[in-house]
């Protein structure tokens, strides 16, 4: 009976062992290293930033104000009205200023008449003095009267010019081509101007071209140059806009010990889709290398263990490591160029095209992740090259 039980248990053990082999197949052999190929591609280095879309020249628009007191008797524009330089946008009651101007002109006319009389009197006195029929004192008095009349004419001319200017200020005109962003007053409202012009309207200068005001940290501002290409997006649209760096301003701002500099980007606004105040997400292209040997930037961060190196003394400089036939790692000194943080240009990398640089040791965890990403259709895919922050797909040679 005991022999029969032992035989049964032996059969069960064999069956279970076979099932275990079927259910739990032998683990695949784990590779020792992880690799990255050296291949031809493009590398684009960018600086990322956020900014605010503003009208050109004036971030908050151009204020249009009233320089004289009076009641607004007519508004010719409203919100979003398109205006041109010199167009009449509002009218202040001109009645008082017309009266002042007429009074100033009457005084000027009177002063000119007195000047004519004084000049004739002086001419007569001068002729009489030459004949000895007039005293020197009378001639001097005639000369003083003539000069006083001339000064009075100048004074009245200035008063009339001022009255004319105040009358002209009753007609408020747009100083630029643009769009009305804001309206501060209503028809019938009285404006009182003191030291500063009272705001009536705010006009955004021609929105067919806009500015983007961005802030860039001091660590990145050294790579930015005037004229560099900038691509940006706005949350309101699923499209990219293109502009150029127009100005790098020196007015630094320090916030929480972080120093930033304002950068001005000028861009076309097709269809005037972009509105002032929108937030823009920018990518400033600071360097580009096309169709060059590249490798993953992780290759330069790899440091092999001493027992895995083929050389006892490692040369100085930036290195990549390659695996030999004996499994030992050999370093190659590399000259690097443009890097986007993910891929790096190899200035002397033509001889390494097709080879695989070691970027790290293979671990069970990395193998498991790689297998899951390969076999599980529901796992998110790694981003393809050519997306933001990576090099584009390798070009065929």
Given 204, 220, 245, which residue is the final one in a domain? 204
Task: Give the chain's length.
Answer: 397
> What CATH number should be reported for the domain holding residue 310?
2.40.420
Residue 166 is part of which domain span?
62-204
Count the Cβ atoms, other than its own, within 10 Å of residue 392: 16
| pLDDT tens, residue order, the chain (397 aa) | 454 554 555 545 554 555 444 444 444 444 588 999 999 999 999 999 999 999 988 888 889 989 899 999 999 999 999 999 999 999 999 999 999 999 999 999 999 999 999 999 999 999 998 888 889 999 999 999 999 999 999 999 999 999 999 999 999 999 999 899 999 899 999 998 776 777 899 999 888 999 999 999 999 999 999 999 999 999 999 899 999 999 999 999 998 999 999 999 999 999 889 999 999 999 999 999 999 999 999 999 998 888 888 876 788 888 999 988 888 898 989 899 999 889 999 998 888 898 999 999 987 655 555 555 445 554 444 444 444 444 445 454 4
Pair (276, 326) in one structural domain: no
- The number of folded domains in the chain is 3
CB 88 within 8 A of CB 173: yes
The string of DSSP codes covering 270-313 is GGG---TT-EEEEEEEEEEEEEEEEEEGGGGT----GGGBS-SS
In a shared domain, residues 262 and 284? yes
Residue 283 shares a structural domain with residue 341: no
Asked whether residue 99 falls in the same domain as residue 176, the answer is yes
282, 295: one domain: no
Q: Do 76 and 187 reside in the same domain of the chain? A: yes
Query: What CATH number did the domain enclosing 167 receive?
Result: 2.40.50.100
Same domain for 197 and 221, yes or no, is no
> Which CATH number belongs to the domain containing residue 263 in this structure?
2.40.30.170
Give the domain-ending residue among 289, 314, 340.
289
Regarding whether 279 and 371 lie in a shared domain, the answer is no
């Amino acid at each position: 009976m005991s022999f029969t039980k032992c035989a049964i248990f032996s059969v069960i053990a064999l069956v279970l062992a076979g099932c275990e082999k079927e259910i739990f197949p032998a683990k695949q052999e784990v590779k020792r290293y992880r690799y990255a190929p050296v291949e031809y591609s493009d590398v684009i280095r960018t600086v990322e930033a956020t900014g605010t879309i503003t009208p050109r020249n004036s971030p908050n628009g151009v204020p249009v104000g009233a320089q004289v007191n009076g009641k607004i008797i007519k508004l010719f524009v409203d919100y979003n009205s398109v205006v041109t330089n010199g167009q009449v946008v509002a009218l202040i009651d001109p009645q008082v200023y017309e009266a002042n101007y007429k009074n100033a002109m009457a005084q000027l006319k009177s002063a000119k008449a007195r000047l004519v009389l004084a000049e004739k009197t002086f001419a007569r006195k001068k002729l009489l003095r030459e004949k000895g029929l007039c005293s020197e004192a009378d001639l001097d008095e005639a000369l003083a009267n003539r000069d006083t009349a001339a000064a009075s004419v100048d004074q009245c001319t200035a008063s009339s010019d001022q009255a004319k200017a105040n009358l002209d200020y009753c007609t408020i005109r747009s100083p630029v081509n643009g769009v009305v962003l804001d309206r501060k007053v209503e028809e019938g409202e009285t404006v009182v101007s003191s030291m500063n012009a009272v705001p009536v309207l705010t006009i955004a200068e021609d929105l067919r071209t806009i500015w983007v005001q961005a802030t860039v940290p001091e660590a990145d501002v050294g790579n930015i140059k005037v004229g560099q290409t900038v691509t940006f997006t706005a949350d309101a649209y699923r499209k990219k806009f293109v502009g150029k760096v127009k100005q790098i301003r020196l007015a630094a701002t320090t916030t929480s010990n972080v120093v930033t500099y304002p950068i001005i980007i000028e861009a076309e606004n097709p269809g005037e889709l972009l509105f002032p105040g929108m937030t823009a997400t920018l990518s400033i292209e600071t360097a580009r290398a096309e169709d060059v040997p590249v490798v993953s930037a992780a290759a330069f961060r790899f440091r092999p263990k001493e027992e895995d190196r083929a050389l006892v003394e490692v040369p100085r400089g930036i290195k990549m490591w390659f695996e030999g036939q004996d499994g030992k790692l050999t370093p190659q000194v590399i000259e690097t160029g443009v890097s986007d943080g993910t891929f790096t240009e190899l200035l002397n990398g033509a001889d390494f095209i097709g080879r695989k640089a070691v970027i790290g040791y293979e671990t069970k965890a990395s193998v498991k992740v790689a297998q899951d990403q390969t076999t599980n259709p529901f796992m998110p895919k790694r981003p393809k090259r050519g997306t933001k922050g990576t090099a584009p797909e390798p070009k065929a040679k």
